[in-house]
Structure 1
Amino acid sequence: MSASANAFRATALSLSIALVGGFAVAPRPAAAGAFDDPAEREARWGAIAEAIFKDRKRVDGEGVVGLEAPQRALDAALVPMTLTLSDKTPIKAIYLVIDDNPAPLAAHFEFGPAADPSRIDLRVRVNVYTNVHAVAEGADGTLYETVKFVKASGGCSAPMGMSDEEAMKGIGEMRLKLAQGESGEPQRATLMIRHPNFNGMQMNQVTRDYTPARYIRTISVSSGDAKVFDLSTDISLASNPVIGFSYRPQGEVKVSVLDSADARWDKSFPAPTAHLGD
């Protein structure tokens, strides 16, 4: 595991244990976030931001980082999030924080030379009504922040609708879908990974026991010998993750996935064939 992934793991663990409302202390009721006032939300974000960024200053991210999220989620266990970044400000990493989730730090993307970090799409679990923060880290270390309020509840404890055995079938299988685009332009891709991402809060509907946690910790994507991104994540990532991203093709695409049971899967996909858009 890389140093950055270890740092993410330590931060995520400290957040889930130390913050008021963290799962290791006491899970918040599903409706709790609906009654928080702005001052309470800001205080919670202040504590989270201090744990992640220490004393580093954050600035308004308008024009640099955008966050698209539904105001009211149709399915709290599969909430779509889109992170957008301006091409006018070089960005080396981005954090996605779901403030009132049991483990707030949901994702940390670190971009490499083959990345086109203009847009990232992913799906997450949301446990209660909550603020969601996206914080982009510029190449010079500046932190750019934006926030959205999302109405959703129960996403972290929602069962998958199938047995644990069925959910585990094909674990680690991967697919990569490439969108048609213009030759020489960044390539749009969608990565699909088969993994239940059990978070320890889901109850088996047959046995009535809680399913032990087993979730993806890191996803690394490269093209040729150049890194596209390293993603460190935790229990907030939805089951069977789907991640949309753009990159600058350097050769075949290689994906490596590591989960909390230290199982690892690696797969290579052929380099995209040059083609022109319609």
Structure 2
Amino acid sequence: MAHTLSAVAVIALLGVTSALAAEQNPLTPSPTWEDLRFDVVGERTISDVGSPLAVEAPYRAHDAATVPVILRQTDADATIKKATVIIDENPAPVAADLTFGPGMAPVDIELRVRVNQYSNVRVLTETPAGLFMTGRYVKASGGCSAPASRDPEQALAGLGQMKLRLFGEAEPQQSMARREAQIMLRHPNYSGLQRNQVTQLFIPAHFIDHMEVWQGDEMLFTMDGGISISENPVFRFGYTDNGAPSLRVVATDTEGNRFEQVLAKTAGG
């Protein structure tokens, strides 16, 4: 009986250890990543423990074309320069390169991505201490080829329109207050894998490839993206308000269009 209890205890302990390891690093083994790794980071060393960013994403996505991914800083002392979001099994795995200004610290940002099949969604975080990796495994399929929500003519009619929404009770020009904002950009972000529902022909890829968010002369963050960013991109983020009365957003797409808009800080949006 003693031997039986010891065996049960060992099995239970192993189960707890495995559960803790999965919680700390829920990424699964990925031959695809082994093929991608050199193209993304070259020979740089990556640590898969101690990342200063935690990643939140649904284990089973409700909509594969708009999967929310939240990056939240867990180490207040870390200086996070850049984060790269990679979706291993997508046709274009590098979804977004995000670069952060000082006003974004501590980093807390949400974006929405397409997931084409069951995949790791990994985040590489660059700090002065090195490169760290963490992420989530997401069950979703068909996100990159999912039909657009609008027909092409209707989608292009509102191309580049932007909207800012602010959350919280801070006054519009209260300097150094921590605020939360959401920027919405109207763009179909065609992946090149979607079909026109009338002609059944593939719609050529046409997506936002670069975006900048500024408050006054201070850059908050930039985003270099690909086809994995969802239709009508949405970015929700926390930042330290420097007192500037507005946010300025600049974006470009793969057709050479440039969109720029100054969005007044009005609470509630």
Tell me the TM-score normalized by structure 2: 0.82
Please show how residues 161-176 of structure 1 align to structure 2 within 5 Å: 161-176=149-164
Gap change, CA 1:160 and 1:245, over 3 Å in 2? same
Give the structure 2 partner of residue 91 of structure 1. Answer: 80
- Pairs within 5 Å for 1:3-152: 39=29, 41=30, 43-62=31-50, 64-86=52-74, 87-138=76-127, 140=128, 142-152=130-140
Equivalents in 1 of 2:89, 2:137: separation in Å? 11
Q: Specify every segment of 5 or more residues in structure 2 that has no aligned partner in the other structure, as ranges.
A: 1-27
CA distance in structure 1 between the aligned counterparts of 2:263 and 2:151, rounded to whole angstroms: 31
Residue type at the aligned position of 1:202: Q
- Aligned residue for 1:13? none
* Separation (CA, whole Å) in 2 of partners of 1:146 and 1:46: 15
Residue type of the alignment partner of 1:265: F
Q: 1:54 to 1:63 in 2, by over 3 A?
A: closer
Q: CA deviation at 1:246?
A: 1.6
TM-score between both structures, scaled by the size of structure 1: 0.80
The superposition leaves residues 104-162 of structure 1 with CA deviations (integer Å, 9 ceiling, x where unpaired) of 00011111133234211011100010111011111x15111102111100010010243
Distance 1:117 1:168, change over 3 A: farther
> Bigger shift: 63-72 or 230-239?
63-72
- Report the 3-state secondary structure (helix = DSSP H, G, I; strand = E; otherwise coil) of the residue aligned with 1:114: helix
* Aligned residue in 2 for 1:233: 225
CA distance in 2, matches of 1:60, 1:222: 32
How many Å apart are 1:47 and its aligned residue?
2.4
CA contact (8 A) 1:249 1:272 kept: no
**Mapped partners of 1:197, 1:114: distance in 2:** 28
> Residues 95 and 107 of structure 1 are in contact (CA less than 8 Å); yes or no, is this contact kept in structure 2?
yes
Whether contact under 8 Å (2:51, 2:134) holds in the other structure is no
Partner amino acid, structure 2, of 1:233: G
Give yes or no for contact 1:69–1:148 (8 Å, CA) kept in 2. yes
Query: Which whole-Å CA distance do the structure 1 matches of 2:87 and 2:62 have between them?
Result: 17
CA distance in 1: counterparts of 2:61 and 2:98, whole angstroms: 23
Aligned to 1:266, the other structure's residue is in SS state strand
- Which one of 250, 254, 258 corresponds to residue 264 of structure 1? 258
In the alignment, what sits opposite 1:196? 188
- 1:16 maps to none
Deviation at 1:163, TM superposition (A): 1.4
Counterpart position of 2:11: none
Runs of at least 5 residues in structure 1 that lack an aligned partner in the other structure: 1-37, 274-278
1:143-199, Cα deviation, whole Å (9 max, x unpaired): 111021111000100102431112222110000101114554321100000000011
Q: What residue is the counterpart of 1:211 in the other structure?
A: 203
Are residues 62 and 226 of structure 1, via their aligned partners in 2, closer, same or farther at CA, if it must alter by over 3 Å?
same
**What does the per-residue CA deviation read over 1:46-78, in whole Å, with 9 as the maximum and x for residues that have no partner?**
222211111111112446111111111111111
User: Could you say if the C-alpha distance between residues 136 and 190 of structure 1 is closer, same or farther in structure 2, counting changes exceeding 3 Å?
Assistant: same
Partners of 1:111 and 1:117 within 8 A in 2: no
Q: Distance in 1 between matches of 2:219 and 2:110?
A: 18
Amino acid at match of 2:259: W
* Contact 1:73/1:151, CA 8 A, preserved across alignment: yes
Identical counterparts, % of pairs: 37
Tell me how far apart the structure 2 counterparts of residues 143 and 83 of structure 1 sit (CA, whole Å): 15
Moved over 6 A (4+): none
Query: 1:115–1:227: 8 Å Cα contact kept in structure 2?
Result: no
Distance 1:241 1:248 in 2: 22
